[in-house]
Amino acid sequence: MSLIALLKGKGPSGFGYGSTAEQVAAGLNLKGKRYLVTGCNSGLGYETMRVLASRGATVIGTARSMEAAAAACASVKGETSPAACELAEPSSVRACVAAVKKKGPLDAIICNAGIMALPRLSLIHGYEAQFFTNHIGHFILVTGLIDSLAKTGRVVMVSSSAHMAAPRAGIEFDNLDGRRGYGAWKAYGQSKLANALFALELARRFKPGARVANSLHPGVIKTNLGRHMWSGLQVIFAAVGPLFLKSIAQGSATHVYVAAHPDTAAESGEYFADCAIARPSALARDSELARRLWQESERIVKRL
């Protein structure tokens, strides 16, 4: 157990920083439930899919290519179904929506895939790559699948505490192409703030007492996400990781808690960390900003 897990202990849910996805799911019978997890071929998405499937759920696992999704799905026990979903390519996301719609209702959509801290400005369809991949790609996916979400279905947006590194304005609507300035962590923070705001606005749009939408911070975990990080930082991560970071099993616990645990079935518009409701930044609670982001995202998506 890491030092932080020892110090933090467990929260009111009985789970905490040190809990694993398997511990959260223990005792849950998910037979008949259907989940979609983006980024199923790596890190937290893979572990989330593995654990949900191990409890009897059917999991649609998406990856950038059908080959990657199929390989990941085939490597876990239980019922899984692969789908291609390249979030940077609207035609791929729309094809995924069409394919998933045919498979029947979903109990949760877990928007987990993401990229972090690209060292140089990179554009996708004219927009900064992290904003486009992490937010716009998932916006197309979730809005496309709303009708396939069960009456009590859940949308889970995997944000990050890094949403607090977003620019002062929160979302720089006048700089979504990064041309007025680019910072790797600011851009990542903006995209993760967008994930949290998307959940907030979706929760507002859902009828009370039915479908729910929440965002979460999984913790800090050594995964492939750090591939663009400065190599010195990667060495430090590797050295101190076992003491201070979460394992992948622990990092996926909040995904499973928010997507599948009965305790969270009625929670909506919240931000979770360590399997408990947490307080995000003031910007992530700004309902006006959330509304504006939704409108701007619709405008962007219409032109793609």
Ligand X SMILES: NC(=O)c1ccc[n+]([C@@H]2O[C@H](COP(=O)([O-])OP(=O)(O)OC[C@H]3O[C@@H](n4cnc5c(N)ncnc54)[C@H](OP(=O)(O)O)[C@@H]3O)[C@@H](O)[C@H]2O)c1
Contact positions toward ligand X, by CB under 6 A? 39, 41-45, 63-64, 68, 85-88, 112-116, 133, 158, 160, 217-218, 220-221, 223-225
Q: Which residues, in sequence order, are CB contacts of 207 under 8 Å at separation 6+?
A: none
CB of 89: closest distance to ligand X in angstroms? 8
- Identify which of residues 43 and 178 has a Cβ nearer to ligand X in the complex: 43
Pair of tokens at residue 213: 């939408």
CB of 223: closest distance to ligand X in angstroms? 3
Pair of tokens at residue 298: 């619709």
Pair of tokens at residue 33: 């439930």
- Identify which of residues 87 and 106 has a Cβ nearer to ligand X in the complex: 87
CB of 102: closest distance to ligand X in angstroms? 20
SS (H, E, C) 181-203: CCCHHHHHHHHHHHHHHHHHHHH
Distance CA 250, CA 201 (A): 28
Q: Which residues, in sequence order, are CB contacts of 251 under 8 Å at separation 6+?
A: 43, 44, 47, 218, 219, 221, 223
- Identify which of residues 20 and 223 has a Cβ nearer to ligand X in the complex: 223
Distance CA 255, CA 2 (A): 20
Catalytic residue from among 182, 188, 257, 271: 182
Distance CA 100, CA 143 (A): 13
46 catalytically annotated: no
Distance CA 226, CA 249 (A): 17
Backbone φ and ψ of 26, nearest 5°? -55, 130
Pair of tokens at residue 137: 């790609």
- Identify which of residues 73 and 85 has a Cβ nearer to ligand X in the complex: 85
CB of 244: closest distance to ligand X in angstroms? 12
- Identify which of residues 43 and 90 has a Cβ nearer to ligand X in the complex: 43
Helix (H, G, I), strand (E, B) or coil at 87: coil
Residue type, 36: L
CB of 243: closest distance to ligand X in angstroms? 15
Q: Where do we find the tokens 């045919």?
A: 102
What's the sign of the alpha-carbon dihedral 46, 51, 52, 57?
positive
Distance CA 189, CA 10 (A): 28
Residue nearest to ligand X (CB): 43
- State CA 87 to chain mean position distance: 12
CB of 149: closest distance to ligand X in angstroms? 20
Q: Are 273 and 217 in contact (CB under 8 A)?
A: yes
- Identify which of residues 86 and 201 has a Cβ nearer to ligand X in the complex: 86
- Residues acting as catalytic residues: 182
